[in-house]
Structure formats: structure tokens, C-alpha cells
Amino acid sequence: MRIVLLGAPGSGKGTQAALLKDHYSIPHISTGVLLREAVANETALGKQAKAIMDRGELVPDDVMLDLIRERLGQEDVRAGYILDGYPRNLAQAEALDAVLGDVGLPVQEAVLIEVDEDQVVERIAKRAMEEGRSDDTEEVVRKRMRVYEEQTAPVAGHYADLGLLTRVFGEGTIEEVLERIKGALQQGVDG
């Protein structure tokens, strides 16, 4: 099963990806983790990314896609993957589709975890308190939500146009949301 998880910041993508990874025994590919590992391991791409980040710039899409392509070349991905944190805009979605097509591992399911904005703000505020983070203020979170709506939300439309999108209600307990996602994925496999 090849899955892309979509949703606003604080929607639970990372939590659900970790649980789905265990349930389906497929790797969870987080672009943030890929980037940190490449930098820590001082790979060629890691060195390139570090130089860019050290200048205070965002790592460009072509470098991120190269990291994803490199990860997709590993044997454990042949059984499937859960991609989380990418794509974040339509251009990335289209470029990702091309890369995944090139390596013969196109997305089979895109799951959008839908959560009300006030719920997202509450979740992130709780997480910020638990982790001692001062950067996740309500103002910052609402700004991130506006950026998400403008740039990332249209990615769901891209996958809907391809007939791959499933929307899942993301409120409730972690286990309830997980069961909804598994049910939706099972329907996608069966239907």
C-alpha cells in the first residue's frame, strides 16, 4: 500500500503515520526525518541541504525530491510506504507524481485528515505546553493554518482529481481516527 497522508498542522498526520507503519509493516517516510538523517550522515544530498539551510534558505524541491527518490530506492519500500509532510503544494505534488512514476511506486491512496481549525489550535497549544515550546502560539498556529489553506489544501484537490483522495474525520481519540483511516484504506483496496 502506497499512501500519502495530508492534513493541516496538528491534524495528527505524524501520529497516525507511526501507527499505520506498524499496522501495515511499511515504512513511514517523513521528509523532515529524511532531511535530518541526510545532514547527520553527511551524505552528498545532506551536505548540499546543510549548506542551503546554513544560509537560512529553504531546501528547494529538487533536493527534497532527490532525497525521496533515494529513500524509495531502498528495499523496504517495495512493499509500500506512508509519505507524510510532502507534498506541500501543487507543484510538489506534480513533481512527486513524476518521481514516483519513474521508480514504479505511484501513490495508491491519499488520505486527508480533516480537523476543525479551533481543534488544531487546541491540539498544538497542548503539544507546545507538553514539549515546552514557546513558538506555537495561537497567532502563529492560525498563520500556519492560513498558509496551509492557501498552499497545501489544494493538494487534496489534485489527488481527488486523480480519484485517490479519501477524507477522514480527524477528531476523537487517536484510536478512533486510526480505525477510520484503516476503514477508508480497506474500502480503497476493496473498492
Domain positions in the chain are 2-184
Q: What is the pLDDT of residue 98?
A: 96
Q: What is the pLDDT of residue 122?
A: 85
Q: What is the pLDDT of residue 178?
A: 97
Q: What is the pLDDT of residue 37?
A: 92
Reply yes or no on whether 144 is catalytic.
yes
The model's pLDDT over 60-93, given as tens digits with 9 standing for 90+, comes to: 889 999 999 999 999 999 999 999 988 989 999 9
The CATH code that applies to domain 2-184 is 3.40.50.300
Reply yes or no on whether 133 is catalytic.
yes
Q: What is the pLDDT of residue 69?
A: 92
Residue where the block lists cell 507543484: 91
DSSP string, 83-136: EES---SHHHHHHHHHHHHHTT----EEEEEE--HHHHHHHHHHHHHHHT-SS-
Name the active-site residue from 36, 126, 133, 143. Answer: 133
Name the active-site residue from 2, 71, 144, 180. Answer: 144
The model's pLDDT over 124-168, given as tens digits with 9 standing for 90+, comes to: 888 878 887 777 778 888 888 888 888 888 999 999 999 999 999
Residue 32 contacts residue 26 (beta carbons within 8 Å) = no
pLDDT (mean) for 93-103: 95
Q: How far apart, in whole angstroms, are the C-alpha atoms of residue 29 and residue 141?
A: 24
Q: What is the pLDDT of residue 90?
A: 94
Reply yes or no on whether 142 is catalytic.
no
pLDDT (mean) for 121-125: 83
Name the active-site residue from 47, 127, 143, 146. Answer: 127
Q: What is the pLDDT of residue 85?
A: 80
Provide the β-strand partners of residue 81: 2
pLDDT (mean) for 111-120: 91
Q: What is the pLDDT of residue 171?
A: 93
> How far is CA 189 from its chain centroid?
21
Name the active-site residue from 50, 88, 142, 167. Answer: 88
Cβ partners under 8 Å of residue 126, min gap 6: none
**pLDDT top residue among 6 and 124:** 6
Q: What is the pLDDT of residue 57?
A: 81
The model's pLDDT over 9-61, given as tens digits with 9 standing for 90+, comes to: 889 999 999 999 999 999 999 988 898 899 999 999 999 988 988 888 878 88
- In the predicted structure, residue 186 carries a pLDDT above the cut 90: no
